[in-house]
């Protein structure tokens, strides 16, 4: 017999800004909603030191904004549970089953997936070997371990440039390694980094290998993308910010997506699977910011409310 405590109007997968916002709006809509998150609510906010581009807050710590969002969602009745979702599947009767690593099954007529993505790996020798011993994918999490040291940051987008600048508060020297001769990051972030005396950009280079010893990594091997020459750069830390792979693989039924696996939705945030909605970083869109994540989530949660109401009227 099904556990009635695991029956909901909507299951929200992920508790980053999109998931928490969806939970808040679902609660306001008097829907029975649960937000499932494998860790502490907040998502990528917890990996960001300072937020300066969220309207209404000129400057706020990522963890503080995460806490405010979680409390707001709970105030309107959203329930947040710490569970690792492993699969989302639509059943023959039209309802969804959301299965977790605890072998718990949540059932609902609708699901909003806001599971974000997983950091991309370089895929070079030494990366896995020195993970946690020099190699990192989170500046806020690990930056303090590199006080007074020389580290490299790999990437050229907003995340790489912003985190490289952040890491200069700990490291003696930060090298940003980029495969091209210009950065993709916003001009403001670029100007801030280039003006930082502790930071230096190394152009037209890619990391080919990460080397080290028993105590951890000691250098990165570089290849020039123009001349193909190889060189060694001594460093005790390597922070990698080269994008994310969307966690859309949780969906076990066929759905429309782009070549990278990002989910295609309509203007209501509904996927090609009726009743399954997507919001935030794992959805196809031009930019991935906190503001776009909560905008997606607002639309998705209100669309769920209307979808459920229409289903009742038809039934």
User: Active-site positions?
Assistant: 138, 141-142
The Cα–Cα gap between 224 and 206 comes to 7
41 φ/ψ sector (left φ>0, alpha ψ -120 to 50, else beta): beta
The Cα–Cα gap between 305 and 60 comes to 32
The Cα–Cα gap between 206 and 200 comes to 15
**What 3-state class would DSSP assign to 188?**
helix
The Cα–Cα gap between 144 and 134 comes to 12
Going by the DSSP 8-state scheme, the letter that residue 41 receives in this structure is: T
**What 3-state class would DSSP assign to 208?**
strand
CA distances from 298 to 16, 47, 144, 175, 249 (A): 13, 23, 36, 39, 23
The Cα–Cα gap between 116 and 78 comes to 20
Q: How many residues in total does the chain contain?
A: 315
Residue found under tokens 């309802």: 95
């Amino acid at each position: 017999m099904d556990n009635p405590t695991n029956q909901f109007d909507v299951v929200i997968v992920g508790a980053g800004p999109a998931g928490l916002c969806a939970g808040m709006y679902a609660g306001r809509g008097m829907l029975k909603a649960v937000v499932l998150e494998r860790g502490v609510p907040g998502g990528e906010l917890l990996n960001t030191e300072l937020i300066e581009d969220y309207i209404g807050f000129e400057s706020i710590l990522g963890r503080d904004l995460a806490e405010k969002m979680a409390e707001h969602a709970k105030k309107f009745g959203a329930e947040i549970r710490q569970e690792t979702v492993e699969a989302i599947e639509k059943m023959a009767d039209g309802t969804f089953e959301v299965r977790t690593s605890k072998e718990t099954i949540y059932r609902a007529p609708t699901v909003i997936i806001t599971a974000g993505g997983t950091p991309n790996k370089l895929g070079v020798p030494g990366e896995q070997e020195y993970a946690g011993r020099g190699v990192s994918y989170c500046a806020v999490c690990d930056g303090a371990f590199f006080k007074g040291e020389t580290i490299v940051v790999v990437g050229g987008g907003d995340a790489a440039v912003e985190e490289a600048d952040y890491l200069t508060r700990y490291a003696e020297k930060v090298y940003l390694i980029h495969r091209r001769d210009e950065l993709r990051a916003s001009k403001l972030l670029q100007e801030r980094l280039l003006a930082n005396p502790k930071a230096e950009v190394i152009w037209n280079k890619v990391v080919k290998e990460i080397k080290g010893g028993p105590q951890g990594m000691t250098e990165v091997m570089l290849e020039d993308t123009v001349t193909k020459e190889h060189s060694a750069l001594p460093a005790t830390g390597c922070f990698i910010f080269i994008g994310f792979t969307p966690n859309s693989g949780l969906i076990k039924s066929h759905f429309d997506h782009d070549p990278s696996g990002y989910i295609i939705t309509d203007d209501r945030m509904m996927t090609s699977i009726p009743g399954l909605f997507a919001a935030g970083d794992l959805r196809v869109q031009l930019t991935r910011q906190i503001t776009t994540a909560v905008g997606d989530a607002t639309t998705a949660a209100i669309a769920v409310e209307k979808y459920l109401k229409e289903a009742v009227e038809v039934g």
